[in-house]
Amino acid sequence: TRPAALSMNNDARAILQHQITNNDESGLRQLMFEPTPEGFGLEIVTNCDDNKHVIEHIIQSISAYTSILRGEFIPGDAIHKINGEIVTEMTHEELLNIVGSQNGDLDLRVKAPQPIEQPRPNSKAGGKTAIVQGVDGKFGLEIATEEATNCHSIAKVDHSCKILEGSVKKGDIIQSVNEQDVSNTAHKQFMRYLETQDEVEFQFQDDQQNFKVATVVAVNGSFGLSIATNSTTNQHTITNIQPTCNITPAVLNRGDNILAIDGIDVTNTPHNKLLQYLSLQDKVEFVVNDETLENEKANSTSP
């Protein structure tokens, strides 16, 4: 059984409400630990790409003795200094050697994880909502996250899921939780927050939209589609479909908004990047929704 984490509720709430207090001029907080018979009780994970050392949780000792002398731990705290020494360029092994060699107190300077973002100006709005109550610390929902885009969706609704208001179904895309935009929040951070809650309000992308999926095969190097992109919102719209366009099934229409291509969310992708990707493909899968074609300032190109 995984050891219990300390101070999850208050710390997660602090992250969401942007109420983290920094203790020095560089924006770092102090965490002071004293050794216990079981060590300092830190579980540290290091990102191999950037050597970012993160404290995932603090192991509670067998005697329930807390090793923290000073400071308040926030799950996901990134370690920048140990006893005054900068460790951001060290490998995981080097950092563990320093921690393991300490005979006295351990003085860490850490930075809290990035807070869940406030709603962005061009966030989608108007979707359905649902209030779900936790049962024994669980909500009865399996949530899948697209790694490239951090798009969270409902993968499974368990029979134990207690829905107080609204509805939840497999495939619903989560837009916000408790009025906090989570469309760009990492899966682990999102799940940590849910673990601290007894009841949450989900807002999903509007399921009244008519989503369609179609595969398009290039003919003589062209997909036979004209795509316009709104210069402000990066919303991509199909403006013309040529007779030679090879679509299966034939469900695409002029005015459809493109949501994803080959499973990649493109709702915030610049026009030139979208066309660059299409130019390298022979076959693509479009996910679109029906929208009335609007006269908007756009760049129109036929890939």
DSSP conformational letter for 2: P
Residue 132 confidence (pLDDT): 92
Structure tokens belonging to residue 93: 């092994």
Judge whether 14 and 74 are in contact, CB under 8 Å: yes
- Name the H helices within the chain: 8-16, 92-100, 187-195, 271-279
Residue 199 confidence (pLDDT): 92
The full length of the chain comes to 303
Residue 217 confidence (pLDDT): 93
| pLDDT by position in tens, the chain (length 303) | 222 232 333 333 333 333 334 444 467 888 888 877 777 778 888 877 677 888 876 765 433 445 667 777 777 788 999 988 999 888 888 988 888 888 888 888 988 775 433 333 333 445 688 999 988 778 989 998 887 778 888 888 888 888 898 888 888 888 889 888 887 788 888 888 888 888 999 988 765 456 788 899 999 888 999 999 887 777 888 999 998 899 988 788 888 888 888 877 787 788 888 888 888 889 999 988 765 443 333 444 445
Give the global pTM. Answer: 0.35
- Torsion sign, CA atoms 125, 155, 288, 166: negative
Distance of alpha carbon 248 from alpha carbon 141, whole angstroms: 33
Residue whose entry in the numeric block shows the structure tokens 């059984």: 1
- Beta strand 162-166 with 151-157 is unpaired
Residue 131 confidence (pLDDT): 93
Residue 206 confidence (pLDDT): 61
Residue whose entry in the numeric block shows the structure tokens 């990102």: 47
Judge whether 186 and 150 are in contact, CB under 8 Å: yes
Residue 272 confidence (pLDDT): 83
Distance of alpha carbon 183 from alpha carbon 200, whole angstroms: 16
Residue 229 CA to chain centroid, in angstroms?
25
Structure tokens belonging to residue 123: 């966030």
DSSP string, 39-65: B--EEEEE-TTT--EEEEEEPPPTT--
Distance of alpha carbon 217 from alpha carbon 214, whole angstroms: 10
